[in-house]
Amino acid sequence: MKHLQEYRDGDIADAVARSIHETTTRSWSIMEVCGGQTHSIMRYGIDQMIPKSIRLIHGPGCPVCVTPVETIDRAQMIAEQPKVILCTYGDMLRVPGSRGSLSGLKTRGCDIRTIYSPLQACQIARDNPNRSVVLFAIGFETTAPANAMAIKIAKSEKLKNFSALVSHVLVPPAIEMIASDPVCRVDAFLAAGHVCAVTGYEAYHRLSEMYRIPIVVTGFEPVDLLEGIRLAVLQLEKGQAYVENAYQRTVAADGNPTARGVLREVFQVTDREWRGIGTIPQSGFCLSEAFRDFDAEVRFPLDWKSVECNNCRAGDVLRGILKPNQCEEFGKGCTPDSPLGAPMVSHEGACAAYYQFSQLGSKANAPQ
Amino acid sequence: MGRADFGGVVAEVCLEYLPEIQIGEYAIVHVGFAISRINESEALRTLAQFRELGILETDFAERNPSV
Ligand code: SF4
């Protein structure tokens, strides 16, 4: 892709890293909120390129990881209903709920289909008028416009056999929860570039001012991440705190207004439980009144209380309190082949990132 | 719907959120939806900034003549 080479170029990355070394005089903790960025950091060894005094803390930005266990159980129970086809993103299949995983149900004969685009769920609904098609609509603000569009299409085409199990989460309230924690150890945030590509970054100004914390909109390539870190460190060293965009080629201040318009139409903001973390006020999307007819929770009312029942410390990992390799189960009771928690399953999960890239001898994997 | 080339693999992409995109331009695509156009002049400007900052001694446009 055009310019992708430069943003992966080792010499440019080294040069930006050198500049971080020259600027840094103190220790700082910087949280990358997005799990995709955690994976890039581990894959490219970004944590090894920067000064030892800069600590990268991995944030809660893994949608599959924060989807409540109750919602996962609910998806499974819906999939077990007669004539249902459950459509899900592949990452969700192996995430353990309290009664097993969706992939377990699939091998037992439930019709669970892996999709890469939510529009496929609309097509499946058109092709199967006698079946009830349920889209498992999870994700952050990056995925929400796609799911919203599928739901909007279902309404306009009167696809009565289509519904959505919606469990969307929003980034700014999660940043606020972390920043407002009295024992917050985060000095600066790298905001996820692809989330901001949709939402823009107006909402971050208030957070940055209120908690006096630099927030840098950052991309996913090695040079992007290093540049995000460089700008965050510059602000910290100068005692400044504002919102900065290190991902200008992709992110406009107002994001994607068309997508934001559709989000406002299809969804409304609601309190949402984050798995392992707890309920964060106004931190998710549910369907708006106008689209309530397409709510799978209304169509399949199920009474069920879920319980977490293993030693998984995902909540501590997602809040940046525990590094994945500090979890007692890491690499022993919990591996990608037999995961105890979602962070070991998802390609945005921090535990999977540490497991996958641990051979690289990353600093993060050294004994603490 | 449009078609996008992902480094050799061509797939259908929904362009509802990026109606202004032109043939030949680059976009961020997520779960089958183009959500953001890659602004080439901004891409070049950021790279040029690294040079201005003295971070880079060489001109990488020369080093990568195919760019
Ligand atoms: S290593 Fe496994 S058990 Fe430990 S926190 Fe990560 S997912 Fe949970």
Query: Minimal Cα distance from B7: which residue of A?
Result: A1
Q: State in words which class domain B2-63 has.
A: mainly beta
Residue A4 CA from chain centroid, whole number: 23
Contacts of A359 (CB under 8 A, 6+ apart): none
Q: Are A214 and A164 in contact (CB under 8 A)?
A: no
Cβ-based burial of B52 (10 A; exposed 0-12, middle 13-18, buried ≥19): exposed
Q: What is the mean pLDDT of chain B?
A: 79
Using a pLDDT cut of 70, give the percent of chain A over it.
96
Backbone angles phi, psi at A327, to 5 degrees: -75, 135
Alpha carbon nearest to ligand 1 atom 8, residue: A312
Question: Is the pTM higher than 0.80?
Answer: yes
Q: In 10 A of CB A209, how many CB atoms?
A: 12
Q: Are A318 and A59 in contact (CB under 8 A)?
A: yes
Contact B16 A1 (CB under 8 A): no
Q: What is the pLDDT of residues B19-42, one digit of tens each?
A: 999 998 999 999 999 999 998 888
pLDDT confidence of residue B53: 64
Going from the C-alpha of A368 to that of each of A72, A281, A351, the distances in angstroms are 34, 34, 16
Alpha carbon nearest to ligand 1 atom 3, residue: A312
pLDDT confidence of residue A165: 98
Q: Are A128 and A85 in contact (CB under 8 A)?
A: yes
Domain architecture of chain A: domains with CATH:
9-368 (3.40.50.11740)
Contact A89 B31 (CB under 8 A): yes
* Residue among A67, A255, A167 at smallest CA distance from B35: A255
Residues in A closer than 8 angstroms to B65, CB to CB, are none
Token pair recorded at residue A106: 């699939």
* Residue among A91, A106, A75 at smallest CA distance from A306: A75
Instruction: Tell me how many degrees the CA angle A199-A204-A210 measures, rounded to the nearest 5.
Output: 160
CA of A315 to the centre of ligand 1 (A): 9
The H-or-E segment that residue B47 falls in is helix B40-52
pLDDT confidence of residue A254: 96
pLDDT confidence of residue A155: 98
The edge-to-edge listing of strands for the beta sheet with A84-89 is A112-115, A84-89, A132-139, A162-169, A278-287, A267-274
Backbone angles phi, psi at A21, to 5 degrees: -60, -40
SS3 B6: strand
Tell me, yes or no, if A118 comes closer than 8 A to chain B by beta carbon.
yes
d(CA A63, CA A299): 24
Residues in B closer than 8 angstroms to A149, CB to CB, are 14, 16-17, 33
Location of structure tokens 């480094």: B7
d(CA A169, CA A284): 4
Output the DSSP codes for A245-266.
Answer: ES-TTT--TT--HHHHHHHHHH
Q: In 10 A of CB B43, how many CB atoms?
A: 19
* Residue among A119, A118, A100 at smallest CA distance from A110: A100
User: What is the identity of the amino acid at A126?
Assistant: R
Q: How confident is the model at residue B50 (pLDDT cuts 50, 70, 90)?
A: confident
Q: Which candidate in B15, B33, B37, B39 is best for mutational testing of the A interface (most A CBs within 10 A)?
A: B33
Helices A144-156 and A257-266 pack at an angle, to 10 degrees, of: 60
Bridge partners, residue A2, by sequence: none
Location of structure tokens 């989807």: A67
Tell me, yes or no, if B38 comes closer than 8 A to chain A by beta carbon.
yes
How many pairs of residues across A and B have Cβ atoms under 8 Å apart?
A: 103
pLDDT confidence of residue A7: 86
Q: In 10 A of CB B66, how many CB atoms?
A: 4
Across residues B43-66, what is the average pLDDT?
A: 60
Cβ-based burial of A192 (10 A; exposed 0-12, middle 13-18, buried ≥19): buried
Helices A10-23 and B40-52 pack at an angle, to 10 degrees, of: 50
* Residue among A222, A237, A160, A225 at smallest CA distance from A190: A225
Residues of chain A with pLDDT under 70: 1-2, 309, 359-368
Burial call A123-150: b when 16+ CB within 10 Å, e when fewer = bbbeeeeeebbbbbbbbbbbbbbbbbbb
Tell me, yes or no, if A243 comes closer than 8 A to chain B by beta carbon.
no
CA of A312 to the centre of ligand 1 (A): 5
pLDDT confidence of residue B67: 30
Q: In 10 A of CB A281, how many CB atoms?
A: 12
Mutate to test the pocket of ligand 1, among A38, A317, A348 (most ligand atoms within 8 A of CB): A317
d(CA A86, CA A113): 6
Q: Are B35 and A256 in contact (CB under 8 A)?
A: yes
Residues in A closer than 8 angstroms to B60, CB to CB, are 6, 9, 11-12
SS3 B35: strand
Q: Are B33 and B4 in contact (CB under 8 A)?
A: no
Q: Is the pLDDT of residue B45 over 90?
A: no
What ipTM does this complex have?
Answer: 0.86
User: What is the identity of the amino acid at A191?
Assistant: A
Q: What is the pLDDT of residues A113-150, one digit of tens each?
A: 999 999 999 999 999 999 999 999 999 999 999 999 99
